[in-house]
Amino acid sequence: MARYVGIPILLMAAIFNATVMAELRVWQGAPDLVFLLVISWALLAGAREALAWAIIGSIFQDALSLVPLGTSALGMILVIFMIDFSTGTVSRRNVFIPPLMVLAGTPIYHLAILAVLWMIDQPVPFTSAFVYVTLPTLVYHLIFILPVFRAVGLVHRWLTPRRVALE
């Protein structure tokens, strides 16, 4: 069920990224709502569910950008594995782990995208990309992760049935 609910959410996020978030650029960095949704879902629902969200969200996101289809999926999948390896799932009320995962995940995500661009012979200078894209994006992600994590937590609570114990 969560995969199907994620489709319209991720589609709207990808459209929002391509239109509104593109106008919030500082240097060349902008918040990536699809990335934040996928990280939040990985922290709340686990790696298996988050992988589906990463693939669906990256298809939408890459279709609206100039990078080859699947480029952002590679970065998101690497970050999901990092989350699964380091923390696994966390509580909806956790305010420490999501910013830490964004702090570690944003550079990994951007390095994966840079690697794909290098492989398709569209090299981007690493230092310029890091200073003008990754660092401003990281600041945006640190600002937006907790509100996004809370909103995704509400969706997760809605989709996850409560466990009933018989006494």
Specify if 96 maps to a domain.
yes
In a domain, 73, yes or no: yes
Q: What is the pLDDT of residue 1?
A: 56
Residue 143 lies in a domain: yes
Would you say the C-alpha torsion 24, 26, 28, 34 has a positive or negative sign?
negative
Residue 166 included in any domain: no
Whether 39 and 102 have beta carbons less than 8 Å apart is answered as yes
- For 78, the domain range is 2-159
Tens-digit pLDDT string for the chain (167 aa):
566 788 899 999 999 888 888 787 778 888 899 999 999 999 998 889 899 999 999 999 999 988 888 899 999 999 999 999 988 788 888 899 999 999 999 999 999 999 998 898 887 888 888 888 899 999 999 999 999 999 999 888 888 877 776 76
Pair 149, 40: CB distance under 8 Å: yes
Cβ atoms within 10 Å, residue 75: 25
Instruction: Compute the radius of gyration of the chain from its Cα atoms.
Output: 16
Q: Please give the model's pTM, rounded to 2 decimal places.
A: 0.90
Per-residue pLDDT, 2: 61
> Which backbone phi and psi does 89 adopt, to 5 degrees?
-85, 150
Establish if 167 belongs to a structural domain. no
Q: Distances in Å between the alpha carbon of 147 and those of 12, 36, 129, 132?
A: 17, 10, 27, 25
Number of structural domains the chain divides into = 1
The CA distance from 105 to 51, in Å, is 15
